[in-house]
Amino acid sequence: MRKYFIAGNWKMHKTASEAVALASELVKELKDGPHKYMIAPSFTALDAVSKVVKGTNILLGAQNMSTDEQGAHTGEVSVLQLKDLGVQVVILGHSERRHTYKEDDAMINKKVKLALSHGLEVILCVGELLEEREAGKAEKVCEEQTRKGLAGVSADDLKKVTIAYEPVWAIGTGKTATPEDADAIHKFTRGIIADMYGKAAADAMVIQYGGSMKADNAQALLAKENIDGGLIGGAALKADTFKPIALCK
């Protein structure tokens, strides 16, 4: 049985004190929650939020990390620095990183392997652009991003990987994939994992949906067989909007 994994990506929102306030509220609200939880504040708030979530049922996530452990990489943040702050999970390959900051599959794969080699969990985001969906290429794009993102990852390390299917056209737009369309891609992606690692690994793989997930559509999405949680942006920025998703049955 896969456990739902509900994760909040706070993107470039909230000062450290605002992040602490929200994290403190969530610690109280979700303390008896039945699912796995993570929040990913900005780098600047990680240290402060780390102290709030330490020892709770909410994991600390980062939104990105460098391809390198250390060195002359102005403006980057390394896996060693994240671990030092108590980060347990890192989101990699988010569509904003892929499309705005031009991260390619090779770069994302390097980050995935580096994070895993340091014991971090990884949320690997995959998803197609609107024009790719309209051209009938959604599966092809997700397959390529999954295979390339996981290239060289051992079966053992795969246990620390969550895949987030995030159709780019649904992120922050208010448009959500229908539960049926999302489930179809999740099922297809699970098939790719089965092909790469075998059925048991595919059955165990948690695949989150992301893209305008909100209280009013979460239940229908999560009811689908292959949707095992959510990576949530906008609705994760307030306890009032995150809590109903996080406590969804």
Which positions lie near ligand PEP, rule CB under 6 A? 9, 166, 171-172, 210-213, 231-235
Give the shortest CB-157-to-ligand PEP separation in angstroms.
Answer: 23
Contacts of 66 (CB under 8 A, 6+ apart): 73, 76, 77, 78, 79, 111
Nearest to 210 by CA among 157, 249, 173, 248: 173
Q: Which is nearer to ligand PEP, 109 or 230 (CB)?
A: 230
Distance CA 15, CA 30 (A): 22
176 exposed, middle or buried (CB, 10 Å; 0-12, 13-18, 19+)?
buried
Distance CA 11, CA 119 (A): 23
Contacts of 115 (CB under 8 A, 6+ apart): 65, 79, 90, 92, 121, 122
Q: Which is nearer to ligand PEP, 202 or 213 (CB)?
A: 213
Distance CA 247, CA 82 (A): 28
204 close to 198: Cβ distance less than 8 angstroms: no
**CA separation, residue 100 to residues 49, 94, 97 (Å):** 27, 10, 6
Catalytic, 139? Answer no
Q: Which is nearer to ligand PEP, 205 or 235 (CB)?
A: 235
Catalytic, 94? Answer yes
Give the shortest CB-182-to-ligand PEP separation in angstroms.
Answer: 12
Give the shortest CB-229-to-ligand PEP separation in angstroms.
Answer: 12
Tokens 């985001």 map to which residue? 125
Among residues 103, 128, 143, 166, which one is catalytic?
A: 166
Q: Which is nearer to ligand PEP, 115 or 202 (CB)?
A: 115
Q: Which is nearer to ligand PEP, 158 or 218 (CB)?
A: 218
Residue closest to ligand PEP (Cβ): 233
Nearest to 65 by CA among 36, 107, 99, 106: 107
Nearest to 98 by CA among 126, 74, 122: 126
Give the shortest CB-196-to-ligand PEP separation in angstroms.
Answer: 24
Give the shortest CB-87-to-ligand PEP separation in angstroms.
Answer: 17
Among residues 94, 96, 128, 186, which one is catalytic?
A: 94
Show which residues are catalytic: 94, 166
